[in-house]
Structure formats: C-alpha cells, structure tokens
C-alpha cells in the first residue's frame, strides 16, 4: 500500500481521538484521490444537500461535491459522509463518461433509474474488493432507508422506481441483504418481477465489469417494470396511431361519411385500445377502481378539489433542510436494558395515579363493550337455528319461525392516535403522567378492538443543530424557514400489541430527550400516518403544554412563525372532517387553536380528561348528532 494512502486511512481511523473538521476534509480528499486515481479532481465541500444518488455533478470528473462535515463530532454523520466520498470515488474510478446513455430514456423515472443502477454497479465493484468501503456504503444505505421512511411504506408506489430497483440490483450484485427497514417495501417490488426482469438481473450480474453490456441489461430491466418501452410496444403504438389516422382521414375526406359508421369505428378503436395496459398500476387495478363511465366522459382536468393538505409547506412556511430530520422508534434511541430501567422508573412514580386512571379506563371499556354487544332478531324464517325453539320444531316441524339472525351493532372499527408533546417544558411530572395515561389508554382500547398509536415529537438538539450549522455555512440567507432537526418518535405503532410496546413509553423519562417543539409539522406527520389507515373512524388526540417554540426558527423568521403555521394545519385538518381532532392543553389554553379542546391546570388531571374526552367521542348520542 502506498505510504500516502496509508497515512490518509490512518487519519480517518484516528479522527475520533481528536476530531477536527479541516483534518477530516483533508483525509477525505486524499482517500478520494487515491481510490479513484484522479489526483487532479477538486473536492468541494458545500452545505447544500448532497446525496450519493444524485448523479448530475458526477459527469464532470474535475469537480465533485460532498457535504460540509459538522463542527461537532457525530460518528454517524461522519461515517455517512465517508460513505458518500467512497461512492464518488468509485464512480470516478469505474464509470466511463465516453459511453453515452441510451437515447430512449425519455421519462424522468427511466433516466433516474438508469443512473441509479450504474451507481450500484460501481459500488458493487468497490465493495467486492474493499471491506472498509463496503461498510461505509452500507452505512449510507442504512441512513437513507431510515431517513426516507422505508419501514412505514406499505404500497409499492410509495418508493421511487430508482430507489426500489437500486435495492433490488444491490442484492443481486453483492449477495448481501438490504437494510431491515427496506425489506418489506422491496418485497412488493420483487413480487412484480417478471421472467424478463429475472433474466435482466442475471445479465446485469454477468456484465458487472462491462459498462456497455450492463447498460443493455439495465434497459431490459426497465422494460420489465414498464419504465421504458420495448421495441414491440413501440411497434404496437405505431399501429394504434396509424389506425386512428386512417379513421380520421376517412372522416375528413368524405363529407358523406355516415355518422353511425363513424361512431361504430370509434367505439371499436376505444375497445381495442382499452385492452392494452398502459402501466403496471393500470394492469393491477380492479374495474371498480378505474372509475365510472361518468368520470371517463368528463373531459379536461379533474373536477375534484385539490388536496389542500398535500404538503406541510405552504406559501408562508417552508423548511430550510430535511436532511437531518428523523423518524425513530424507541429501540433506535435506547437499548432494551435502558428501556426496561426507564419503564421501571415510570411504574414506581405513578403507582397511586395508575389506580385512579385505571378505574376511569374501566368505565370507558364498559361503554365501548356495551356498544359492541351482539344482539339478535328472533322468529326469523332463515338464519341460525334458535336452540330455544327446539320444542316448537319437535311439536310442529312445519313451523318456519325457528331461526335467529344477528343484528349489526353499528360500531365502527376505530383507531386513536395520541400525539404527545415531548418538549423540554413537559419534563418531570407532566411527561410521566402523559406516558402512563397513554399506556393505560392503549391497554384499555386494545381490549375493545380499538387500535391505538402513540407518537411523540421534539427536536434532536437545542437551538438549531445541524440545520442551523448548514444555514450559517450558507452565509445566513434571509427568511430560512424552519431551522432545526426534527425528531419524531413512534412509541407504539397502531398494529403493534400493547405488550410489545409497553417498555417503549419509558423512553419519555430519558434525560436529554425532551427539547423543543414544532407542532405544525408534527401534527401533519401524525395526520399523514392516520389518513392511510383502513379504519372507518379515526381520532387524533394532541397533548401539549404550550405553543410551538424553537429558538433557532423564531429568531430568524419572526415570533409567530410556528404558531401561525400550526393554526393553518389545524384549520386544514378540521375542515376535511375525515379525522376527528381533539386537543388537551396542560396549563396552556389550546381552545384558541382547536375547535374541540379542553385545558387543564394540573398534570394529575390529564388521565381523567383523556378518558372523559374519548367517552364523549364514543358516545352514541354524539355520533348520531354528528351524522
């Protein structure tokens, strides 16, 4: 190994003992030069988001870009940057710019997927030869899977084709499994793999060292997933256009062309073309999902109103960067032993109040169970045999009124989401009681077949974190928008049994967890998770003890920036009416934000208030009035 390369690797391995951003940069530069063989390449460190799956800048081997290393040591971030540096170096080393991309990559998905799969090829080549590089690239993949929320995806279309095919080809070329968070969504894409696609994957593996042949195999894979038209499809499209042109010419050239014949020919053409699948989604949709005849006749743009809650950003609120945001589970923050310790602390603190809340919860349970009690219509001519009428059957077998039928209870399948403020002002008694109330409520509602999800929201650091560092490095542009690193926590998923999530709620007692609160984005996140659920009735309960506060954001955008955004998010959710929204404020008047809200003065009142508000929502009279 060259002496210079050995020194650079030593720098990277030993930076933890005396971390210095400038020294880390120099080590990265040396590694890229040595690994790629291009010593004249300029490595630029910028604060804008740089992802090793963005390829436009890599066609220029004279200048490449990497993210700015953080000022404060962060092992995960530094390994992520090292992985991006390795990906760049491998692209410089193994990709031949002189070989042009295929000219028929007309769609954006096809172009992005083709570039992504070429990146997978060069990374696979490097991973097979260098174990350290493979570990860094794996860290990047883990990071991206986590940031992009692969674990929460349950539909194939939620993952972009470029990302899905990258993961699929990565497994084929390297023989390694993708991150755990990505396995479920990748399986949905693997289920759509055709024999043509399997053949293309095999060809890509065999052509790993031949960029030209690999590109041809990549095109076959894109055709298999309908991202690129094959020759047969192009030919068929030509025939369709020719047929349509012939019909138009006949109509235009002959004024006496009978209208009935025109309509008959148009009808036949439409029927013929409707049988040709346009894409995989159309092929899989049932007839009922393709729309009625009325919707097909309406021309022009869709008459449906636009989704006014399509994005958390709007004209008055934007996000400076999402690069450092995270959605995590309790296990990703603490190990199992620490979670058990924190849970024991929670149980010890709240033994007395637990008994009080349990009594109230039992009342709620009795109400819910009474609404779900099965009832029967007797003396029916068909149905289940009524055992109490057996004597009637024996004495008079011709009597037909000996059956019973079960009545429908009218109780909708329901899900309740608890969104708990994890800000620093909740520290101590409020957060402990919120955790225990959520725990008891989840246990109670689970017995009544009501799904419960418990979520928390805070920030990763005080006063901006890495988002603010990025803004400072960008020379402080005006009105940057939200300027902190979000941390959204899933304490209990809706489909997770209470017994498996019990220990997670102890995480709320962890020192240093509770920081600042950006309520508007947290509310949107909880709403997004809830709206995709299949339950007919959806309830979102927010527990907070104050207005949104983030010093970094408010100091650069104005004192009411976060509060105004929260009000807009609440108004949009309440106007849609598909989710019932209720809020409980602890020592903070939330009635000025929410239509359905209550304010309590002491944390000890939280349990009773939660049960009372849910009881009102589940009350049959209230439900009838709301209808």
pLDDT of residue 121: 93
Tell me how far apart the alpha carbons of residues 379 and 403 are, in angstroms, rounded to a whole number.
6
pLDDT of residue 422: 93
Instruction: Work out the average pLDDT over 542-555.
Output: 89
Query: Which distant-in-sequence residues (6+ apart) come within 8 Å of 340 by Cβ?
Result: 503, 506
Instruction: Work out the average pLDDT over 600-625.
Output: 65
pLDDT of residue 514: 92
Helix (H/G/I), strand (E/B), else coil: 375: coil
pLDDT tens-digit readout, 63-117: 778 888 877 777 888 888 888 889 988 998 888 887 766 766 767 788 888 889 9
pLDDT of residue 252: 44
Instruction: Work out the average pLDDT over 532-550.
Output: 87
Query: Which distant-in-sequence residues (6+ apart) come within 8 Å of 478 by Cβ?
Result: none
pLDDT of residue 57: 40
Query: Which distant-in-sequence residues (6+ apart) come within 8 Å of 209 by Cβ?
Result: 125
Q: How many other C-beta atoms can be found within 10 angstroms of the C-beta atom of residue 102?
A: 14
Contact of 420 with 438, CB cutoff 8 Å:
yes
* Number of Cα atoms under 13 Å in the Cβ half of residue 316: 12
Q: How many other C-beta atoms can be found within 10 angstroms of the C-beta atom of residue 460?
A: 18
Q: Is a pLDDT exceeding 60 seen at residue 151?
A: yes
Closest CA to 379 of 402, 407, 413: 402
Instruction: Work out the average pLDDT over 475-498.
Output: 91
* Residue 583 Cα distances to 92, 107, 157, 174, 456, angstroms: 54, 45, 33, 50, 14
Cβ burial 551-572 (10 Å sphere, 16+ → b, else e) = ebbbebbeeebbbebbbbbbeb
For residue 500, name the pLDDT band (cuts at 50, 70, 90).
confident
pLDDT of residue 231: 47
* Of 30-34, 65-69, 117-121, 570-574, the least confident: 65-69
Tell me how far apart the alpha carbons of residues 369 and 122 are, in angstroms, rounded to a whole number.
60
CA angle 203, 109, 199 (to 5 degrees): 15
For residue 471, name the pLDDT band (cuts at 50, 70, 90).
very high
Tell me how far apart the alpha carbons of residues 93 and 118 are, in angstroms, rounded to a whole number.
13
If you average pLDDT over every residue of the chain, what do you get? Answer: 76
Classify domain 326-366+415-626 at the CATH class level.
alpha beta
Helix (H/G/I), strand (E/B), else coil: 81: helix
Percent of the chain topping pLDDT 90: 22
For residue 175, name the pLDDT band (cuts at 50, 70, 90).
confident
Contact of 61 with 38, CB cutoff 8 Å:
yes
Q: What is the DSSP string of 513-538?
A: --B-B-HHHHHHHHHHHHHT---SEE
Query: Which distant-in-sequence residues (6+ apart) come within 8 Å of 520 by Cβ?
Result: 312, 317, 548, 562, 565, 566, 568, 569
| β-pair partners for 136 | none
Closest CA to 571 of 528, 536, 523, 615: 523
For residue 444, name the pLDDT band (cuts at 50, 70, 90).
confident
pLDDT of residue 258: 46
pLDDT of residue 433: 81
Helix (H/G/I), strand (E/B), else coil: 403: strand
Instruction: Work out the average pLDDT over 48-52.
Output: 42
Q: Is a pLDDT exceeding 60 seen at residue 615?
A: yes
Cβ burial 421-455 (10 Å sphere, 16+ → b, else e) = bbbbbbeebbbbbbbbbbbbbbbbbeebebbbbbb
Backbone angles phi, psi at 323, to 5 degrees: -60, -35
Closest CA to 223 of 188, 189, 190, 197: 197
Q: Where in the chain is the domain with CATH 3.40.50.410?
A: 326-366+415-626
| β-pair partners for 380 | 403
pLDDT of residue 456: 95
Most confident segment among 39-43, 332-336, 395-399, 551-555: 551-555
pLDDT of residue 11: 53
Q: Is a pLDDT exceeding 90 seen at residue 488?
A: yes
Closest CA to 417 of 449, 446, 454: 454
Task: Please give the DSSP secondary-structure letter assigned to residue 57.
Answer: G
**Three-state SS sequence of 293-340:** HHHHHCCCCCCCCCCCCCCCCECCECECCCCCCEEEEHHHHCCHHHHH
Cβ contacts of 373-382, under 8 Å, gap ≥ 24 = 373/409, 374/406, 374/407, 374/409, 375/406, 375/407, 375/409, 376/404, 376/405, 376/406, 376/407, 377/404, 377/405, 377/406, 377/407, 378/404, 379/404, 380/404, 380/405
Backbone angles phi, psi at 119, to 5 degrees: -65, -40
Contact of 442 with 501, CB cutoff 8 Å:
yes
pLDDT of residue 354: 60
pLDDT tens-digit readout, 273-330: 334 333 333 333 333 333 333 333 333 333 333 344 557 888 899 999 998 999 999 8
pLDDT top residue among 27 and 302: 27
Tell me how far apart the alpha carbons of residues 467 and 480 are, in angstroms, rounded to a whole number.
10
| β-pair partners for 46 | 67
Contact of 132 with 182, CB cutoff 8 Å:
no
- What is the pTM for the complete model shown? 0.48
pLDDT of residue 327: 92
For residue 489, name the pLDDT band (cuts at 50, 70, 90).
very high
For residue 407, name the pLDDT band (cuts at 50, 70, 90).
low
pLDDT top residue among 170 and 107: 170
Q: Is the dihedral of CA 3, 6, 10, 12 positive or negative?
A: positive
């Amino acid at each position: 190994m060259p002496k210079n390369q050995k020194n650079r690797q030593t720098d990277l391995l030993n930076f933890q003992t005396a971390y210095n951003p400038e020294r880390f940069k120099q080590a990265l530069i040396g590694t890229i030069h040595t690994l790629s063989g291009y010593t004249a390449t300029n490595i630029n460190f910028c604060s804008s988001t740089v992802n090793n799956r963005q390829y436009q800048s890599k066609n220029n081997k004279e200048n490449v870009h990497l993210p700015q290393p953080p000022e404060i040591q962060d092992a995960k971030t530094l390994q992520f940057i090292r992985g991006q540096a390795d990906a760049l170096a491998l692209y410089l080393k193994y990709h031949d710019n002189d070989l042009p991309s295929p000219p028929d990559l007309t769609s954006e998905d096809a172009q992005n997927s083709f570039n992504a799969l070429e990146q997978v090829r060069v990374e696979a080549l490097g991973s097979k030869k260098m174990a350290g590089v493979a570990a860094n690239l794996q860290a990047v993949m883990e990071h991206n899977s986590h940031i992009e929320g692969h674990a929460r995806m349950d539909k194939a279309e939620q993952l972009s084709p470029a990302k899905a095919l990258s993961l699929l080809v990565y497994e084929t070329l390297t023989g390694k499994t993708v991150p755990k968070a990505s396995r479920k969504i990748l399986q949905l894409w693997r289920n759509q793999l055709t024999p043509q696609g399997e053949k293309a994957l095999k060809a890509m593996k065999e052509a790993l060292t031949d960029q030209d042949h690999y590109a041809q195999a990549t095109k076959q894979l894109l055709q298999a997933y309908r991202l690129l038209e094959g020759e047969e499809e192009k030919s068929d499209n030509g025939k369709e256009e020719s047929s349509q042109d012939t019909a138009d010419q006949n109509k235009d050239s002959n004024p006496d062309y009978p209208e009935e014949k025109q309509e008959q020919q148009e009808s036949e053409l439409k029927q013929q073309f409707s049988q040709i699948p346009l894409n995989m989604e159309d092929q899989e949709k049932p007839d009922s999902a393709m729309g009625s005849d009325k919707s097909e006749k309406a021309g022009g743009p869709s008459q449906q109103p636009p989704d006014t809650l399509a994005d958390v950003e709007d004209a008055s609120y934007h996000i400076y960067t999402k690069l450092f945001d995270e959605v995590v589970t309790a296990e990703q923050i603490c190990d199992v032993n620490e979670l058990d310790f924190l849970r024991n602390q929670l149980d010890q603190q709240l033994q007395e109040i637990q008994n009080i809340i349990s009594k109230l919860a039992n009342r709620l349970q009795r109400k819910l169970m009474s609404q779900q009690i099965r009832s029967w219509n007797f003396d029916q001519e068909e149905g289940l045999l009524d055992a109490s009428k057996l004597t009637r059957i024996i004495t008079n077998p011709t009597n037909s009124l000996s059956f019973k039928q079960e009545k429908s209870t009218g109780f909708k399948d329901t899900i309740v989401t608890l969104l708990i403020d994890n800000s620093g002002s909740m520290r101590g008694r409020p957060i402990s009681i919120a955790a225990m109330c959520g725990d008891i409520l989840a246990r109670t509602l689970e017995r009544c077949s009501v799904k419960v999800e418990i979520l928390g929201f805070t920030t990763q650091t005080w006063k901006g974190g890495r988002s603010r560092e990025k803004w400072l490095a960008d020379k402080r542009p005006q009105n940057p928008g939200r300027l902190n690193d979000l941390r959204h926590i899933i304490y209990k998923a809706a489909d997770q049994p209470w017994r498996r999530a019990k220990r997670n709620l102890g995480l709320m007692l962890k020192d240093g967890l509770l920081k600042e609160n950006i309520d508007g984005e947290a509310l949107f996140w909880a709403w997004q998770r809830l709206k995709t659920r299949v339950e007919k009735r959806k309830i979102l309960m927010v527990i907070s003890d104050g207005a949104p506060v983030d010093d970094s954001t408010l100091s650069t955008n104005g004192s009411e920036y976060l509060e105004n955004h929260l009000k807009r998010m609440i108004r949009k959710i309440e106007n849609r009416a598909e989710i019932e929204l209720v809020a409980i404020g602890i020592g903070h008047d939330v009635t000025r934000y929410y239509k359905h809200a209550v304010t309590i003065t002491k944390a000890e009142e939280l349990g009773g208030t939660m049960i009372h508000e849910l009881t009102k929502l589940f009350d049959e009279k209230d439900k009838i009035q709301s209808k």
